[in-house]
A = this chain, B = another copy of it.
Amino acid sequence: MTITASDSAGQLWEAHWASAVGNISSSAIRELLKVTEEPGVISFAGGLPSPDCFPAEEIALAAERVLANEAGRVLQYGPTEGFPPLRAFLVELMRARGLSIGPEHLLVTNGSQQGLDMIAKLLVDPGDVVLVEEPTYVGALQAFRPYRPRFVTLPMDDDGLQIEGVERALADLAAAGQAPKFLYTVASFQNPTGVTLSAERRRALIALAARHGLPIVEDDPYGELRYSGAAPPLLAALDIERHGAPRHVLYLSTFSKLLVPGLRVGWAVAPEVLLRRMVQVKQGLDLHTSSLAQAIAYEACRDGLLARQIPRIRAVYQQRRDAMLGALEQYLPAGARWTKPDGGMFLWITLPASYNTTDLLARALERKVAFVPGGAFHANGGGTNTMRLNFSFSPPDTIVEGVRRLSEVFKAALG
């Protein structure tokens, strides 16, 4: 290394980067969001919950209470595992979701995103295989990539992951003497497609995990946001049912979509052996999640706010989903296909193969409508004719107008 005083800062730091840096890049969505903040743009690009649903008064009251009654505690350093009353509350919430666990299985995180970094840090050496859905959540790819995994993508349909696809991937890997470190899935109202893994396939996946000794990361930010259909059991619930305690599944969830994202409070449910390691990792990462944010989340929710919030959010988002589905039906050209999610915040459009949605985005922005091109959600490339639309952020009228604008973009591209 022969860096000298005359070299630039760029040369200095580039000479010192770890190998991981070649695998680190900015999220296309986040860069895009900067453009879509311009006035007049109808954005289906972000993944923002609607601020119309924020329980701002309840949160203000919660903040007032915890700061009046226990400032010394909620402003001080706290345990890495989480603010004890919140942890106890979340154990109960998990039981209500069908996970019979104890506090020894639960850790509070900075949004569920932090759980993704932690599991990759604990499991992934460079070159290790991680199984991901195709398409998959781009933020998971971003969390995993610095650890330099090799992604093997799994095929999906309208019922989520195809189990035969998982079996085939495992068999191919075994034939090559390899086994994946874990399978990552957003099983309910997937980001980006909105599809949900069927109950039958969930049971098959948990059986398969047991047979192959396969760890599963179940990322569940949206599960409660159901507008139609019946809820299948959580993968984590089936895992506990089968083994008597958490065994194969790391379950991640968050307050971001049910309460507000700005608190950055999520949680992880894991087998004890994994949870203890996650706590150690989190000590090094940031000591613990904001005591105040945790105390506010607890204080706001302790008297049943979520039970009032969830129906309220469902009612608003269902209207918006219906508005988007109706407008797509009305405006989209022949040959376009899209998912019909029973919940969540997103749906997924597949255009005829000749379309390139990255090219279309430039034209869409000229017409003041935005979406996310599907390429970024594909771990190993592809998906150039796909796109993700968010339906939770804008009111129904705006959604219809946005889809109308989109259809003009598609027509112009055809012409």
Contacts of A319 in B (CB 8 A): none
Chain B nearest CB from A187 CB (Å) reads: 20
Residues of chain A in range 67-109 having any CB-CB distance to chain B below 8 Å: 67-68, 71-72, 74-78, 80
- State the CA gap A116–B290 with chains docked (Å): 18
**Interface membership of A246, Cβ < 8 A:** yes
Q: B-facing mask of A11-26, CB < 8 A → 1, else 0?
A: 0111111111100111
A74 and B262 contact, CB distance less than 8 A: yes
- What CA separation (Å) do A30 and B282 show in the bound complex? 12
Is B123 a contact of A262 with CB atoms below 8 Å? Answer: no
Determine which of B26, B146, B211, B273 lies in contact with A5 in the assembled complex, contact meaning CB atoms within 8 Å.
Answer: B211
A60 touching B51 by the CB < 8 A rule?
A: no
A285 contacts chain B at the CB level, 8 A cutoff? yes
Interface residues on chain A, number (Cβ under 8 Å): 103
- Neighbouring B residues of A215 by C-beta, 8 Å: 12-13, 16
Chain A positions 249-292 with a Cβ under 8 Å from a chain B Cβ = 256, 260-265, 271-274, 277, 279-281, 283-292
A169 contacts chain B at the CB level, 8 A cutoff: no
Q: Judge whether A75 and B4 touch: CB under 8 Å.
A: no
Please indicate the chain B residues that have their CB under 8 angstroms from the CB of A287 in the complex. Answer: 111, 113, 139, 264
Does A122 reach chain B (CB closer than 8 Å)? Answer: yes
- Interface code A216-251, partner B: CB below 8 Å = 1, 0 otherwise? 000000000000000000000000000101111000
Cβ of A213 < 8 Å from any Cβ of B? yes
* Minimal beta-carbon separation of A87 from chain B (angstroms): 15
Number of copies: 2
Instruction: Give Cα distance in the complex from A123 to B262, angstroms.
Output: 30
Taking a contact as CB atoms under 8 Å apart, the answer to whether A25 and B290 are in contact is: no
Q: Which of B60, B121, B271 contacts A18 (CB 8 A)?
A: B121
Measured CB to CB, the closest approach of chain B to A320, in angstroms, equals 17
Residue numbers in B under 8 Å from A26 (CB-CB) = 279-280, 283
| A260 near B76: Cβ-Cβ < 8 Å | yes
Q: Does A182 contact B (CB under 8 A)?
A: yes
Tell me the minimal C-beta distance from A359 to chain B in angstroms: 25
Q: Shortest Cβ distance from A241 into chain B, in angstroms?
A: 13
Shortest 5 CB-CB distances between A and B: which pairs? A3-B213, A56-B71, A262-B291, A75-B260, A60-B67
Contacts of A78 in B (CB 8 A): 262
From residue A103, how far is it (CB to closest CB) to chain B in Å? 14
> Known contacts A24-B122, A54-B76, A76-B260; can you find 20 more A-B pairs with CB under 8 A?
A5-B211, A9-B273, A9-B274, A12-B213, A16-B181, A20-B125, A21-B277, A26-B279, A51-B76, A59-B75, A63-B63, A76-B262, A110-B290, A111-B287, A113-B287, A114-B285, A142-B283, A144-B284, A264-B288, A292-B293
Q: Are A281 and B4 in contact (CB under 8 A)?
A: no
Q: Do A213 and B15 have beta carbons less than 8 Å apart?
A: yes
Instruction: Let me know if A117 is at the binding interface, CB within 8 A.
Output: yes
Contacts of A2 on B, CB cut-off 8 Å? 213
**B-chain residues with CB within 8 Å of residue A3 when the two chains form the complex:** 212-213
Min Cβ gap A125→B in Å is 5
A80 — nearest CB in chain B belongs to which residue? B30
Does A128 count as interface, using CB distance less than 8 angstroms?
yes
Q: CB < 8 Å: which of B56, B71, B261, B273 contacts A14?
A: B273
Does A124 reach chain B (CB closer than 8 Å)? yes
Is A330 on the interface with B (CB-CB < 8 A)?
no
Q: Chain B residue with minimal CB distance to A245?
A: B9
Cα distance A33–B288 when bound, in Å?
A: 15
Could you tell me the distance in whole angstroms from the C-beta of A48 to the nearest C-beta in chain B?
6
Contact B261 A77 (CB under 8 A): yes
